[in-house]
Structures are given as C-alpha cells and as structure tokens.
Structure 1
Amino acid sequence: MNNISFPNVSKVFQTNQTSQTSSTTPFEAQKSFASVLKESIEKVNQAQLESDVMTEKLARGENVDLHQVMIASQKASVTLSATMEIRNKVVEAYQEVMRMQV
C-alpha cells in the first residue's frame, strides 16, 4: 500500500518549533506560514492535475495502466480531503478565538 505523506505539515511544526527558540518577527512568521501554505496548496493542485492527465490518457485509449490511473485518482482525492479537513479545523479554531471574551 502506498504511503501518502504530507511533508509540508512537518514543515509547519518545524517552523513553529524554530520560531519558539529564535527571535523572529510576526511578519517573518506570517511570511513563512504563507509560503508553507502556498506550497501545500500547489502540491494538492499538482496531484489533481496528474490525476486528470492520466484519466484523459486512459479515455483517449493511450497505453496507461488502469491501476496507475486509479492510484493517481485516489491520491488526489485523499490529499484534497485531508486539505479540506485541515481547513475546517483552522476555521473552527479561528471561530473559537473570535468567540473568546477579552
């Protein structure tokens, strides 16, 4: 079974750990988070594009293994689902912070 890894998630944790030990400004931390987020979204998009290309090749009758097409499709589906779950958790956390009384 293929292991699906999320290398950018570990970058977020590493960035968080290094930001606690070093003196970074909030602006630098924001730029770092934004770049990690952008890379993650680009990887999800790349997985979707690869799945689309393989599906189109299969539909045109080109020599593509069906199991490779299905694997690419499932990988794209899982990465998108994981991204949506992460987004949901971030939105929930934001809403919780906004409900806090000062």
Structure 2
Amino acid sequence: MITDNLSSHNSVSTRTWLEDHPRIRHVFIPVGACWLNLQEGWWRIFRKTALAGRSFGDRDHITHATEVATAQLNARARPWIWGRPAPPTRRLRRRYVYVL
C-alpha cells in the first residue's frame, strides 16, 4: 500500500493493523514527490472543474457543483497514462508506384 506522509497513515492503530496483516506492506511516497500521488492530480482536476472561480451561497450549491463536476468527469473518464503520450502514427503513407 503506497500512501503519502499524512500523520494518520503512521498512527499506532495503523501500525498495529499492519502487524496483524503481514502480507500488506506500507510504503510512503518520498517527501517532496507529491506528483507521484495520483490523488493529487485528480484533486487538481476536480477543483478546477467544480470549484474554481465560483462563489457559493450555501452548502446545497457546493453539493450540486460537486455532483455535476463528478458526473462530467466520469462521463469522459479514461485510464490514467504515465509519461508523455506516444507520437501519433501516420496512417496514410505515400506509396509511389512506377509503371513502365
């Protein structure tokens, strides 16, 4: 299990549970490497979609904006791909045919 360095991930109850489940190993993301945490990227996209540049009058407006943003993100969800995408392949190549 890979987690960030939140103090609750290293609490006594968590360490006790991990001792009772030896097949699960706890690994922390290095400090200063939050870009390795996929949740951080998701939260950035979600905040930009749901909350950026908006002011809310009450809790119901925040709930509605959250539901709408979640539905929109789920509608266009695709698998997360690490790194730079591969360059597009050329589908149409020129073929020269010489006729004598």
TM-score, shorter chain, exceeding 0.5: no
Higher normalized contact order (CA 8 Å, seq sep 6+, divided by chain length): 1
From the CA coordinates, give the structure whose radius of gyration is larger.
2
TM-score between both structures, scaled by the size of structure 1: 0.28
Pick the structure with more helix per residue.
Answer: 1
